[in-house]
Structure 1
């Protein structure tokens, strides 16, 4: 089960971002399967983003704050990701993705997963088999709409700890692009934000437009934004 501090953080975020706060558990089809995840982060913490598709059981965008329960592995992974570039992926044991939904009666508190360099389904080398990962917080649980449609804007969830800040595109059109980026902020401990940029499309936003949106949200970057992951092939 999610610990109460993590749940309080989730509910507090939901107050500011109604699209997340409205996600409560209800009866629906199970989503059992092998749910691969992008692993990213740095010295301040680790995050995992489910690699989604527009068909069940992978039709949910899920973002987690998590940690390796083995202290040595946690430190190694944080340092590896902080150096960049590149990314890691997790190949977890099979589980029902719905158990990561906030409020689920059998909420998933952790799982075993193989750790891979780059994409495990595209030849990414195995770095560590069967490591244990604890879910500290569910940041996003967004069911995908499978109907072909285009959004009038691109929205990005901005979060992080310390000066490390990350951007994850909220998936809300089909086809879509999965984007995860990183930058250093001049503001330490800035609150989470949902940024909106006009125009949809399947490309990363123009740097100048994104820079202006970040500054308007009080998140003045200290370093240039680096896109860690871009994927359109799984979201057609």
Structure 2
């Protein structure tokens, strides 16, 4: 006998924007999550662009310019399940939903390796604290804020070394960065978004 279908099916096929950043000459994307399913995943992936586009993107990122990537509609479970796949995508200077400017259009983007995955779960983060996950790519170290109960934020930091702790009490994005610097750690903020995670 066939099992009953769940009453609340979420359509994973749709628009899933991402922010681009770099680890040396390796390009990475971070899915722009939301609290509501099916967008409630923090996902970081290594991607490959055509050679000329890759050089142009790396040059822009080296000038600390924000770039966002909007692929054609696709099933987010390909990223969740750590698949390898190729999508056509547009790249925007700035945030594609916040007056960003279309820069490169209809580029083939190869998604080659899942670097990080976490489903948003408020119980992962103790009230009154903020907590980071870490990952390494192409010899560089990164910290990704674990989004918690609203108000919260999505943040990616590149750091020169791992801190003594990945959890900060009574902190926000700015004060956590200051605390890292007070430990002698070089910090570069690559992305910060709070509007989507406000009350």
TM-score range, shorter chain: 0.7 to 0.9
CA contact 2:84–2:112 (8 Å) conserved in 1: no
Partner SS state of residue 122, structure 1: coil
Alignment of 1:27-176 (within 5 A): 29-41=10-22, 43-68=24-49, 70-82=50-62, 84-102=63-81, 107-145=83-121, 150=127, 152-162=129-139, 164-176=140-152
Task: Select between 146-155 and 91-100 the one with higher mean Cα deviation.
Answer: 146-155
Structure 2 residue 183 is the aligned partner of structure 1 residue 204: no
Partner SS state of residue 81, structure 1: helix
Distance 2:164 2:78 in 1: 25
Larger strand share, 1 or 2: 2
Partner SS state of residue 39, structure 2: coil
The alpha-carbon deviation at position 59 of structure 1 amounts to 1.2
The alpha-carbon deviation at position 35 of structure 1 amounts to 0.3
Distance 1:97 1:146 in 2: 21
CA contact 2:35–2:197 (8 Å) conserved in 1: yes
CA contact 1:156–1:169 (8 Å) conserved in 2: yes
Q: How many residues were matched structurally?
A: 189
Distance 1:35 1:226 in 2: 25
- Compared CA separation, residues 48 and 199, structure 1 to 2 (3 A): same
CA contact 1:100–1:138 (8 Å) conserved in 2: yes
CA contact 1:149–1:175 (8 Å) conserved in 2: no
CA RMSD of aligned residues (A): 2.9
TM-score relative to the length of structure 1: 0.69
- Compared CA separation, residues 72 and 155, structure 1 to 2 (3 A): same
CA contact 2:130–2:172 (8 Å) conserved in 1: no
Match of 1:234 among 162, 180, 196: 196
The alpha-carbon deviation at position 146 of structure 1 amounts to 6.6
TM-score relative to the length of structure 2: 0.80
Residues 85-137 of structure 1 show CA distances to partners (whole Å, capped at 9, x for unaligned) of: 2210001111111121236xxx3512111011010111111111110111121
- Compared CA separation, residues 160 and 58, structure 1 to 2 (3 A): same
CA contact 1:179–1:204 (8 Å) conserved in 2: no
- Compared CA separation, residues 177 and 77, structure 1 to 2 (3 A): same
